[in-house]
């Protein structure tokens, strides 16, 4: 009898403490937390100052580093290799195949997800485990800027985000000004896949970059990553081939040789089969502007010669 009373007493005490703790906790939590709508239209409640962030895609890691908050990232996905410091963050699987267990074990107070790519069920599960998930959708320059703004607010880095955005916009304007002088807009075949031949459609950021850099994307259309046969590409008669280095080693040389066999192609006549570093072309981050500058110089070298000479002096 006595022991059971004791147990009840013990429990009561525990209950009171727990209730009080919960009350205090919710109180402080509500006063500091932010209630936001993310890019999926979900309403997310996030504690005032997230300190343990898990970034569910390499682009997110990069954007958070750009905001100067990289030290808050406690978990990142495979291939989060930029900046150099990001390589040391514990891995939580790849962005399509996340290791939920590892994420939970990191005890994050915020997960930043991407709208396309992260499986829906992972997001739901994390939410069921009371981990706030904020989804963003960086897929072109505009949405990268939007993401920078939102994460700036979220991570208390609005100043930095404004500076980054301003820098991006200034550089875009500069390129636009230079490219506007071009008297010819060449037809470009941007090849991201070797076998099968894959290019980029209208709703990709590479398309946007090509247009901004003063080129026409031959593969524009509804399909994001259209496949082509060799015949179709030849029928386009591209003036410039741009091939990403996704396939490393000697593969680029091989592909170049392959296209060079068609000596009637304008691109071959003018020797304009070009290689770009895929690293800056595969993620929607502030580095898109680097990619834009690279592209513009590749497509319109004549417009940049004066500038290069100037900088060499």
Partner 1 sequence: MNKKTPVVLKRMIFISLSFLLLLAGAMLIGLSMGSTKGGFKAIWEFVVSGSADDSVLNAIIWQIRFPRVLVAALVGATLSVGGLIFQAILKNPLAEPYILGISGGSAIGAIIGILIGLSRFPGINIIAFSGSIVTLLLILVMSSGKSTLIKDSLLLSGVMVNAFCSAVIMFLISLTQDFRLHNIMFWLMGDLSSSDLYQAKILMLMLFPCFILIFLYSNTMNLLLLGNELAITMGVNIKAVTMTLLVVTTFMVSAIVSQCGLIGFVGLVTPHLLRLLLGSDHRILVPACILGGSTYMVICDLLARILPAHGEMPVGVITAMIGAPIFIILLKKTKT
Interface with partner 1 (CB under 8 A): 78, 91, 93-94, 96-97, 99-102, 104-105, 107, 116-117, 119, 121, 125, 128-129, 223-227
Sign of CA dihedral 104, 110, 112, 117: positive
Question: Of the two residues 124 and 230, which places its CB atom closer to partner 1 in the complex?
Answer: 124
Nearest Cα to Cα of residue 86 among 53, 109, 114, 119: 53
Question: Of the two residues 110 and 273, which places its CB atom closer to partner 1 in the complex?
Answer: 110
Question: Of the two residues 52 and 149, which places its CB atom closer to partner 1 in the complex?
Answer: 52
Question: Are 175 and 293 contacting, i.e. CB atoms less than 8 angstroms apart?
Answer: yes
Q: To the nearest whole angstrom, how small is the minimum distance from the Cβ of residue 35 to partner 1?
A: 24
Q: Name the token pair of 133.
A: 């998930």
CA angle 111–130–96, rounded 5-degree value: 40
Question: Of the two residues 87 and 107, which places its CB atom closer to partner 1 in the complex?
Answer: 107
Q: To the nearest whole angstrom, how small is the minimum distance from the Cβ of residue 79 to partner 1?
A: 11
Distance CA 144, CA 286 (A): 7
Would you mind telling me the total number of residues written for the chain in this entry? 313
Q: To the nearest whole angstrom, how small is the minimum distance from the Cβ of residue 104 to partner 1?
A: 5
Question: Of the two residues 23 and 96, which places its CB atom closer to partner 1 in the complex?
Answer: 96
Question: Are 282 and 59 contacting, i.e. CB atoms less than 8 angstroms apart?
Answer: no
Q: To the nearest whole angstrom, how small is the minimum distance from the Cβ of residue 40 to partner 1?
A: 15
Q: To the nearest whole angstrom, how small is the minimum distance from the Cβ of residue 163 to partner 1?
A: 33
Question: Are 109 and 52 contacting, i.e. CB atoms less than 8 angstroms apart?
Answer: yes
């Amino acid at each position: 009898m006595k022991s059971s009373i004791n147990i009840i007493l013990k429990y009561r005490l525990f209950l009171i403490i727990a209730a009080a703790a919960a009350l205090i906790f919710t109180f402080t939590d509500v006063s500091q937390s932010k209630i936001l709508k993310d890019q999926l239209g979900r309403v997310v409640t996030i504690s005032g100052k997230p300190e343990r962030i898990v970034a569910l895609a390499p682009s997110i890691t990069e954007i958070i580093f750009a905001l100067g908050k990289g030290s808050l990232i406690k978990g990142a996905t495979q291939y989060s290799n930029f900046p150099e410091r990001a390589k040391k963050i514990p891995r939580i699987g790849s962005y399509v195949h996340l290791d939920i267990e590892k994420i939970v074990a990191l005890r994050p107070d915020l997960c930043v997800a991407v709208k396309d790519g992260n499986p829906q069920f992972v997001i739901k599960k994390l939410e069921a485990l009371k981990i706030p998930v904020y989804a963003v959708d960086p897929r072109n320059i505009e949405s990268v800027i939007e993401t920078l703004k939102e994460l700036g607010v979220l991570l208390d880095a609005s100043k930095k985000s404004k500076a980054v955005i301003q820098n991006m916009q200034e550089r875009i304007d500069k390129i636009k000004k230079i490219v506007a002088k071009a008297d010819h807009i060449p037809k470009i075949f941007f090849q991201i896949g070797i076998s099968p031949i894959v290019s980029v459609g209208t709703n990709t950021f590479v398309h946007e970059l090509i247009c901004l850099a003063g080129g026409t994307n031959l593969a524009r259309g509804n399909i994001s990553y259209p496949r082509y046969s060799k015949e179709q590409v030849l029928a386009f008669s591209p003036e410039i081939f741009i091939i990403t280095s996704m396939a490393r080693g000697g593969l680029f040389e091989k592909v170049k040789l392959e296209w060079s066999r068609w000596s009637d192609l304008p691109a071959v006549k003018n020797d304009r089969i070009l290689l770009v570093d895929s690293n800056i072309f595969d993620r929607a981050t502030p580095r898109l502007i680097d990619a834009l500058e690279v592209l513009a110089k590749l497509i319109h070298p004549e417009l940049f010669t004066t500038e290069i000479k100037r900088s060499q002096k």
